[in-house]
Amino acid sequence: MTSLAISDAVALLSSATVGRVVFSVAALPAIAPITFAVHGDAVVMRTSAHTRLASAADGGVLAFEVDDVNPAARTGWSVVVTGVAEVVRDPVQQAVIHGLVAPYAPGENDVAVRLPLTVVTGRRVEGVLSPAPGDRTSPL
Amino acid sequence: MTSLAISDAVALLSSATVGRVVFSVAALPAIAPITFAVHGDAVVMRTSAHTRLASAADGGVLAFEVDDVNPAARTGWSVVVTGVAEVVRDPVQQAVIHGLVAPYAPGENDVAVRLPLTVVTGRRVEGVLSPAPGDRTSPL
């Protein structure tokens, strides 16, 4: 497993349209798939008012992940962004985000969320040869 | 978006081989793709000693997510398991888990982790018609 340069990680991030947003609800981890875009120096996404994400994104720490893993080939990559999110309230910026992101989930999705690329980490696995299931003695 | 019955959620979970495990590191959210299996009433996976996941899984709360989202069709599903994880130290159970799970990431992956299906939630989106990007007035 190799760490990616930030520029490579951001390029892979920008190549995807669906990721997973991670947040906390009552101190428990929560995660949901979501469509997104990279806009300037941030991940932008949309949600509906009164969702758990809308609450968590209003000044809370979010992680956002994209990946593409091929378990049979044992290759793949993942990129994670971590930062303090904000709900975008400027109408012009809201409209920009609404134009960039097609919601996956139904609902109004009027809440625009911006997660700055504060911490970006990326990893790639390729050409790894490791034992397959069954290579080890198993009672199954 | 509809909520899935637990039996349907577990069936979808069992159909996948790669998910994402969510944990906390120094009170910050962390997430990584990982191969897994459903074994009995738990998600089982493997990691290497001294990883952040190995620490977090030893009695900590984990979330585990699988999804399959088609943003163009606006269809898809996701399943999330939340519970208190444990590191499996019984050698027989360790061997079972090693036989079930082919690690995606390189390394020893000798640490077997069990996340019971304590809370399982699933959601499905299908046949949603919502505005595409550009349907709204955008300054872009």
Residue in B42, B35, B41, B40 with CA at minimum distance from that of residue B16:
B35
A20 vs B67: CB contact, 8 Å cut-off? Answer: yes
Q: Which residue of B has its CA nearest to A18?
A: B71
| Averaged confidence pLDDT in chain B | 90
CA–CA distance, B24 with A37 (Å, rounded to integer) = 25
Name the band, by pLDDT with cuts 50, 70 and 90, for residue A104: confident
Name the band, by pLDDT with cuts 50, 70 and 90, for residue B135: very low
A139 vs B96: CB contact, 8 Å cut-off? Answer: yes
Q: Which residue of A has its CA nearest to B36?
A: A71
Query: How confident is the model over A2-33, as pLDDT tens digits?
Result: 999 999 999 999 999 999 999 999 889 999 99
Backbone angles phi, psi at B61, to 5 degrees: -80, 130
Quick one: average pLDDT of A83-107? 95
**In sequence order, which residues have a C-beta less than 8 Å from that of residue B36 and are 6 or more positions away?**
B16, B17, B18, B19, B21, B43, B44, B45, B64, B101
Q: Which residue of B has its CA nearest to A99?
A: B133
Residue in B67, B70, B88, B49 with CA at minimum distance from that of residue B126:
B70
Does residue A78 carry a pLDDT above 60?
yes
Residue A65: the pLDDT is 98
B31 vs A31: CB contact, 8 Å cut-off? Answer: yes
Residue in B22, B61, B80 to test binding to A, most A beta-carbons within 10 Å: B22
- Cα-Cα end-to-end distance for chain B: 30
Query: How confident is the model over B76-98, as pLDDT tens digits?
Result: 999 999 999 999 999 999 999 99
Residue in B38, B126, B130, B135 to test binding to A, most A beta-carbons within 10 Å: B130
Does residue A72 carry a pLDDT above 50?
yes
Residue B96: the pLDDT is 98
Residue A140: the pLDDT is 36
Q: What percent of chain B has pLDDT over 90?
A: 79
Q: Which amino acid is at A77?
A: W
For residue A138, list chain B residues with Cβ-Cβ distance below 8 A.
95-96, 98-100
Assembly ipTM: 0.88
- State the pTM of this model: 0.89
Residue in A31, A34, A80, A124 to test binding to B, most B beta-carbons within 10 Å: A31
Q: Which amino acid is at B69?
A: V
Residue A136: the pLDDT is 43
Q: Which range (A47-51, A118-122, A129-133, B96-100) has the least confidence?
A: A129-133
Name the band, by pLDDT with cuts 50, 70 and 90, for residue B107: confident
Name the band, by pLDDT with cuts 50, 70 and 90, for residue A1: confident
Q: Which amino acid is at B29?
A: P
Residue B127: the pLDDT is 64
More confident site: A129 or A78: A78
For residue B47, list chain A residues with Cβ-Cβ distance below 8 A.
none
B31 vs A20: CB contact, 8 Å cut-off? Answer: yes
Name the band, by pLDDT with cuts 50, 70 and 90, for residue A89: very high
CB pairs under 8 A between A and B: 152
Name the band, by pLDDT with cuts 50, 70 and 90, for residue A105: confident
